[in-house]
Amino acid sequence: PHYLMWFRRDLRLHDNTALAALSERANEDNALVSAIFFMTPEQWHAHDMSLTQLDHIARTLPILATSLQKHLNINLTVQVCLNFADCVNALSTLCEANKISLIMANHEYEGNEIERDERLTKQLAKNDIEFIRWHDQCILPPQSIMTNDGDSMYKVFTPFYKKWRHTLDVSTIQTHEAPAVNNKAKLKTSKSSATTINDIENLSKKTVNNYQNVLQTNGLLAHIDIDAQLDYAREAYPAGEEAACQRLDEFIATDIDDYDISRDVPSLHATSQLSAYLNIGSISPRLCYLQATKALEELHRNDGNTLRNSDNNDINRWISELAWRDFYRHVLVEKPTLIRHKAYKEETDSKIHWSYSEDDFKSWCKGETGVPLVDAAMRSLNATGFMHNRLRMVTAMFLTKDLLIDWRLGERYFMQQLIDADFASNNGGWQWSASTGTDSAPYFRIMNPFSQAKTHDTDGEFIKTWLPELKDVPASILHSEDKMRKELAKGGKFSDTDYPLPMVEHKAARQLAIAEFKK
Scanning residues 275 to 314, which ones bind ligand FAD (CB under 6 A)?
A: 275, 278-279
Using the minimum distance from each CB to ligand FAD, give the nearer residue, 209 or 313: 313
Closest CA to 436 of 504, 361, 505, 354: 354
Closest CA to 419 of 267, 183, 232: 232
Q: Out of 24, 242, 321, 461, pick the active-site residue.
A: 321
Beta strands (DSSP E) in 81-178 are 100-106, 130-134
The reply, when asked if residue 271 is annotated as ligand binding, is yes
Q: Out of 44, 134, 164, 324, pick the active-site residue.
A: 324
Q: Phi/psi at 93 (nearest 5 deg)? A: -65, -45
- Contact indicator for 236, 229 with CB cutoff of 8 Å: no
Q: Phi/psi at 378 (nearest 5 deg)? A: -65, -35
Closest CA to 189 of 100, 123, 126, 277: 100
Distance, in Å, from the CA atom of 237 to the CA atom of 11, rounded to the nearest integer, reads 15
The residue within the footprint of ligand FAD, chosen from 38, 84, 164, 328 (CB under 6 A), is 328
Closest distance to ligand FAD from the beta carbon of 287 (Å): 12
Alpha-helical segments (H) within 218-284: 226-236, 241-253, 259-262, 275-280
Closest distance to ligand FAD from the beta carbon of 435 (Å): 12
Using the minimum distance from each CB to ligand FAD, give the nearer residue, 439 or 487: 439
Under rule CB under 6 A, residue 324 binds ligand FAD: yes
Distance, in Å, from the CA atom of 113 to the CA atom of 84, rounded to the nearest integer, reads 8
Closest distance to ligand FAD from the beta carbon of 304 (Å): 28
Under rule CB under 6 A, residue 430 binds ligand FAD: yes
Q: From the CA atom positions of the chain, what is the Rg in Å?
A: 24
The residue within the footprint of ligand FAD, chosen from 55, 241, 314, 420 (CB under 6 A), is 420
Closest distance to ligand FAD from the beta carbon of 32 (Å): 36
Q: Out of 6, 364, 407, 432, pick the active-site residue.
A: 407
The reply, when asked if residue 225 is annotated as ligand binding, is no
Indicate the residue whose CB is closest to ligand FAD. Answer: 429
Buried b (16+ CB within 10 A) or exposed e, 36-58: bbbbbbbbbbebbbbbbbbbbbb
The reply, when asked if residue 328 is annotated as ligand binding, is yes
Closest CA to 344 of 356, 352, 332: 332
The reply, when asked if residue 323 is annotated as ligand binding, is yes
- Contact indicator for 385, 419 with CB cutoff of 8 Å: yes
The DSSP call for residue 355 is B
Closest distance to ligand FAD from the beta carbon of 232 (Å): 16
Tell me the residue length of the chain. 519
Distance, in Å, from the CA atom of 511 to the CA atom of 462, rounded to the nearest integer, reads 28
Closest distance to ligand FAD from the beta carbon of 122 (Å): 31
Closest distance to ligand FAD from the beta carbon of 450 (Å): 19
The residue within the footprint of ligand FAD, chosen from 272, 382, 400, 436 (CB under 6 A), is 272
Closest CA to 61 of 16, 108, 12: 12
Using the minimum distance from each CB to ligand FAD, give the nearer residue, 267 or 272: 272
- Judging by DSSP bridges, how do beta strands 183-184 and 100-106 pair with one another? unpaired
Distance, in Å, from the CA atom of 466 to the CA atom of 452, rounded to the nearest integer, reads 16
324 is catalytic: yes
389 is catalytic: yes
Under rule CB under 6 A, residue 429 binds ligand FAD: yes
432 is catalytic: no
Stretch that binds ligand FAD, among 43-51, 239-247, 385-393, 444-452 (CB under 6 A): 385-393
- Contact indicator for 108, 80 with CB cutoff of 8 Å: no
The residue within the footprint of ligand FAD, chosen from 58, 421, 453, 513 (CB under 6 A), is 421
Using the minimum distance from each CB to ligand FAD, give the nearer residue, 34 or 271: 271
The DSSP call for residue 339 is G
Q: How far, in Å, are 34, 113, 131, 220 from residue 16 at the CA level?
A: 15, 19, 17, 35
Distance, in Å, from the CA atom of 199 to the CA atom of 3, rounded to the nearest integer, reads 23
Stretch that binds ligand FAD, among 331-339, 351-359, 420-428, 437-445 (CB under 6 A): 420-428
Q: Out of 73, 182, 183, 389, pick the active-site residue.
A: 389
The residue within the footprint of ligand FAD, chosen from 8, 56, 247, 392 (CB under 6 A), is 392
Distance, in Å, from the CA atom of 268 to the CA atom of 263, rounded to the nearest integer, reads 8
Under rule CB under 6 A, residue 400 binds ligand FAD: no
Under rule CB under 6 A, residue 363 binds ligand FAD: no
The residue within the footprint of ligand FAD, chosen from 77, 204, 384, 426 (CB under 6 A), is 426
Q: Just list the catalytic residues.
A: 321, 324, 354, 389, 407, 430
Binding residues for FAD: 259, 271-275, 318, 321-328, 420-422
Binding residues: 259, 271-275, 318, 321-328, 420-422
Q: Which residues bind ligand FAD (CB under 6 A)?
A: 263, 271-275, 278-279, 321-322, 324-325, 328, 389, 392-393, 396, 414, 418, 420-422, 425-426, 428-430, 433
